[in-house]
């Protein structure tokens, strides 16, 4: 099972950061740190579409509609690698 962990910085960054990072590494997934909550929706949708093989179509559609901000585009492209 793949685990994608999304970390939003807090004042307890060290301990919480390590927890989310190890969760993703142990679950064969990916660790992503976000600071803009607006990115979360596209990120979660992107993860689901990546796992079903529809990620490229999703990103292309958002690009055509110019629906992506720079932070959203940056986070989504992290899923591609």
pLDDT, position 18: 84
d(CA 23, CA 2): 10
> Could you tell me the residue ranges of all domains in the chain?
1-33, 36-81
* C-alpha angle 77-78-81 in degrees, rounded to nearest 5: 95
15-56 confidence digits (pLDDT tens): 788 888 888 888 777 888 877 777 788 788 888 888 899 988
Rounded mean pLDDT of 56-67?
A: 79
* Residue found under tokens 């959203």: 72
Query: Considering the entire predicted model, what is its pTM?
Result: 0.67
């Amino acid at each position: 099972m793949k685990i994608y962990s999304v970390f939003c910085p807090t004042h307890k960054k060290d301990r919480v950061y390590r927890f989310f990072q190890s969760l993703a590494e142990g679950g064969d997934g990916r660790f992503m740190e976000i600071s803009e909550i607006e990115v979360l929706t596209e990120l979660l949708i992107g993860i689901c579409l990546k796992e079903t093989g529809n990620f490229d179509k999703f990103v292309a559609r958002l690009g055509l509609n110019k629906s992506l901000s720079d932070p959203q585009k940056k986070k989504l492209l992290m899923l591609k690698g």
